[in-house]
Amino acid sequence: MKNIHTKLLKKAMKEGYAVPAFNFPSLEILLAIIETIKETKSPAILQVSESAIKYFTPCIIKGIVSSIHEQKLPVSIHLDHGHSYESIKLAINLGFDSVMIDGSLLSFKENVKLTKKCANLAHKKRVHIEAEIGALKGDDDNPNASDVDRFTNPLEAKKFVELTNVDSLAIAIGTNHGAYKFKGDGKIRKDILKKIEKYIPNIPLVLHGASLIEPEIVTELNSLGGKINNAKGNDGLLNGIYKTHICKINMDSDLRLAYTLGIRKSLHENPENFDPRVYGKIGLQQVKETAKSRIIKICHSNNKVN
Ligand code: G3H
Ligand code: 13P
Ligand code: ZN
């Protein structure tokens, strides 16, 4: 049987939409994503970073993975930004459907070597593997790279896929990680994307750093005591991106902001409450709103579950 992650991406590629890939740094965020995909009839990718595995502990993550698999949801569970062979091995042992090996800050040769080794292991276990070529700023910051070096080189991308046999490829076309993506105006390099699509037409592409960081949410957060200054994201930059070969769109910061806003609102309005389930629920509702809007407006993945 085909791997669920591969299936989700291939269907998105064929039908012209993108699968939202949401990280869940808290249980409420996970619950919110699950409720939202049920309500919108959207597939999704549930992403766990190395630091999230450490935070929840591998044992709890293993339980979450098996409970999600039992529910037979249209989702796959994916390791986000694995940095070593050991990380990939751990995620596979925990039951993940897909893993990302991120060697984007290594030299081309070293990236190929590490990715190939991880791809061999993943394929042996029928697990999907994503890798990255080019580098994003933010969490991936590489102070030694110029802006030109950071973007994916389309010919290198083709060579990289041929040499490593990866199933999907994360590319750098102008987005960055986190809530402070751009100093001036951001720009998405659709020209680079087009060349990559031409050189590797059958490989589903992945867009990291896709949070919008909506100014209205940041302003509201700050009006309730937050200090999130100079935040800037992809608001207005990703319209239409779902029509391209980008089949997986990664978003984490937007859900973190939404969750924090819900909690700030709830504690502000009910200062006497100290039951985490009461303010957690308001955080969850706020995350649902954001997740729903990304599904409908950015990914166009609503009603794509048969
Ligand atoms: O791209 C990185 C993700 O947003 C994960 O971040 O390592 O803080 O969980 P994290
Ligand atoms: P954001 O920081 O834009 O939410 O991107 C998340 C991401 O790329 C996770 O891999
Ligand atoms: Zn990322």
Q: Which residues line ligand 1 (CB under 6 A)?
A: 23, 25, 49, 51-52, 80-81, 139, 177, 252
CA R_g for the chain: 19
Measured from the alpha carbon of residue 298, the closest ligand is 2
**3-state DSSP assignment of residue 250:** strand
Cα 106 to averaged position of ligand 2 atoms, centre (Å): 20
pLDDT given at position 145: 57
| Among the bound ligands, the one closest to the CA of 179 | 2
What pLDDT is attached to residue 31?
98
**Is the distance from CB of 6 to CB of 128 less than 8 angstroms?**
yes
Residues with CB under 6 A from ligand 2: 23, 80-81, 177-178, 208-211, 250-254
The reported pLDDT for the residue numbered 140 is 47
Alpha carbon distances (Å) from 30 to 43, 264, 268, 291: 14, 19, 24, 11
Please give the Cα distance from 280 to 24 (Å, whole number): 14
Nearest CA, atom 5, ligand 1: 49
Per-residue pLDDT of the chain (306 residues; tens, 9 = 90+): 789 999 999 999 999 999 999 999 999 999 999 999 999 999 999 999 999 999 999 999 999 999 999 999 999 999 999 999 999 999 999 999 999 999 999 999 999 999 999 999 999 999 999 999 998 866 445 555 555 568 999 999 999 999 999 999 999 999 999 999 998 889 999 999 999 999 999 999 999 999 999 999 999 999 999 999 999 999 999 999 999 999 999 999 999 999 999 999 999 999 999 999 999 999 999 999 999 999 999 999 999 997
Task: Give me ligand 1 centre to Cα 49, in Å.
Answer: 6
Ligand 2 center–CA 208 separation, angstroms: 5
- Quote the pLDDT of residue 147: 58
Q: What are phi and psi of 138, to 5 degrees?
A: 80, -130
Q: Is 167 a catalytic residue?
A: no
